[in-house]
Amino acid sequence: MKIHIPTPLRQYADKKDTIEVEAGTVAEALSGLTAKHPDLRRHLYTDEGKLRAFVNLYLNDEDIRYLQKENTKVQQTDTLSIVPSIAGGWSH
């Protein structure tokens, strides 16, 4: 399956915007990704090993939070998009 890498993380993935991995679940896909590119790990996960809150994962067009989260099964034709949040505002 393909994993789309967002602009800010490509420097840790040999400047690639898409990485191919073999996986049966989202967790396996991320594990495969960080095995190939270990520098990505600290940007995706906290020190406690949890996915950072601002990292959104979409399996095709579905947020995995509303599926089975990292246990969501994947097909080889699926696409996983890593999308850091975009938000802000003048409010302090």
Q: Does 66 bind another protein (CB under 8 A)?
A: no
Question: Is 90 a binder of another protein (CB under 8 A)?
Answer: yes
Helix (H, G, I), strand (E, B) or coil at 52: coil
Q: Identify the CA nearest to 70 among candidates 45, 47, 87.
A: 45
Q: Could you give phi then psi for residue 63, rounded to 5 degrees?
A: -70, 125
> C-alpha angle with apex 56: 44 to 8, nearest 5 degrees?
55
65: contact with another protein by CB under 8 A: no
To which residue do tokens 């099964």 refer? 73
Interface with another protein includes 7 (CB under 8 A)? yes
Angle (CA) 35 37 39, round 5°: 110
Nearest approach, Cβ of 2 to another protein (angstroms)? Answer: 12
Identify which of residues 49 and 89 has a Cβ nearer to another protein in the complex: 89
Does the protein bind another protein through residue 77 (CB under 8 A)?
no
Nearer to another protein, 58 or 69 (CB): 58
Binding site for another protein (CB under 8 A): 4, 6-8, 11, 17, 42-43, 52, 54, 56, 58, 61, 63, 81, 83-92
